[in-house]
């Protein structure tokens, strides 16, 4: 049985030969160029598909927000209409009559005049008695 002994560390010449062989593997010939072009085309197609999907999702979200805006605008105009009806004098009079409310008579009005504190003299009503 024969054993060939090779040194563990290659010589400089063998390292240069190995480096040139490695570069030969990395060189692109016709078949490798075709594979690289196909991979590049697949990558570009994948990016285009991802952007299209994201754009479709955003378009759907925008359409949904526009529907929601339309509904809110309708609700707002309905509320404004209800407010205008509730503030109309005829509606207020009708609700007052339904609640048996009557207009105030002039003799029912009471007016209180309050002056500034330094303008008047203190009276016995200014200091209330808590326990008479």
Give per-residue pLDDT as tens, 1-29.
Answer: 666 666 656 677 777 777 777 666 666 67
34: pLDDT strictly greater than 80? yes
132: pLDDT strictly greater than 50? no
Task: Give the integer Cα–Cα distance in Å for 15 and 36.
Answer: 29
Higher pLDDT, 88 or 32: 88
Residue 25 domain flag: yes
Structure tokens at 115: 């002056």
Higher pLDDT, 53 or 127: 53
- Domain count of the fold of the chain: 1
User: What percent of the chain is predicted at pLDDT more than 70?
Assistant: 74
Domain hosting 92: range is 12-101
- Average pLDDT estimate for 92-113: 89
Residue 122 domain flag: no
Task: Give the integer Cα–Cα distance in Å for 71 and 12.
Answer: 80
Structure tokens at 35: 């594979």
Residue 64 domain flag: yes
> Any idea what the Cα angle at residue 45 is, between residues 42 and 51, rounded to 5°?
145
Residue 115 domain flag: no
Q: Which of 26-35, 54-63, 90-99, 122-131 has the lowest mean pLDDT?
A: 122-131
Residue 69 is predicted with a pLDDT of 97
The percent helix, strand, coil of the chain (3-state, each to 5) is: 65, 0, 35
pLDDT band per the 50, 70, 90 thresholds, residue 33: confident
Residue 112 domain flag: no
Contact 40, 47 (CB under 8 A): no
């Amino acid at each position: 049985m024969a054993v060939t002994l090779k040194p563990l560390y290659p010589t400089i010449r063998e390292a240069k030969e190995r480096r040139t062989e490695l570069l030969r593997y990395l060189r692109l010939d016709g078949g490798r160029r075709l594979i690289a072009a196909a991979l590049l085309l697949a990558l570009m197609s994948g990016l285009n598909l991802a952007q299209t999907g994201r754009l479709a999702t955003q378009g759907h979200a925008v359409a949904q927000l526009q529907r929601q805006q339309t509904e809110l605008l309708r609700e707002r105009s309905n509320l404004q209409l209800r407010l205008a009806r509730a503030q109309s004098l005829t509606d207020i009079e009708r609700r007052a009559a339904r609640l048996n409310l009557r207009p105030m008579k002039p003799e029912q009005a009471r007016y209180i005049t309050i002056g500034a504190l330094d303008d008047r003299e203190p009276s016995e009503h200014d200091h209330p008695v808590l326990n008479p």
